[in-house]
């Protein structure tokens, strides 16, 4: 599973971090991936669902999950 964050569009609102704190953190004004976020297991259905929800609620639509 790969997660992409468009750093230029990210507003730094933190919705993704609130939804999946094990995967996202805020670095100044933009979201970044934690170490765990770099290596997502495709079999973790709960985490994948949470990531997709985080992408849906992102106001700037900066997250791509897939």
Beta-carbon contacts of residue 60 (< 8 Å; ≥ 6 apart): 6, 9, 10, 11, 13
Using pLDDT thresholds of 50, 70 and 90, give the confidence band for residue 1.
confident
Instruction: Print the domain residue range for 10.
Output: 3-65
What's this model's pTM, rounded to 2 decimal places?
Answer: 0.88
Each residue's pLDDT tens digit, 16-50: 999 999 999 999 889 999 998 888 888 999 999 99
Which CATH number fits the domain that encloses residue 41?
3.30.70.20
Alpha helix (H) residue ranges in the chain: 15-19, 45-57
How many domains are contained in the chain?
A: 1
Q: How far apart are CA 15 and CA 55, in angstroms?
A: 9
Helix (H) or strand (E) holding 15: helix 15-19
């Amino acid at each position: 599973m790969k997660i992409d964050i468009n750093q230029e569009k990210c507003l730094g609102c933190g919705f993704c971090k609130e939804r999946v704190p094990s995967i996202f953190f805020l670095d100044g004004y933009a979201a970044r991936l934690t170490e765990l976020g770099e290596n997502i297991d495709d079999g973790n259905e709960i985490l994948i669902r949470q990531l997709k929800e985080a992408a849906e609620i992102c106001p700037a639509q900066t997250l791509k999950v897939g």
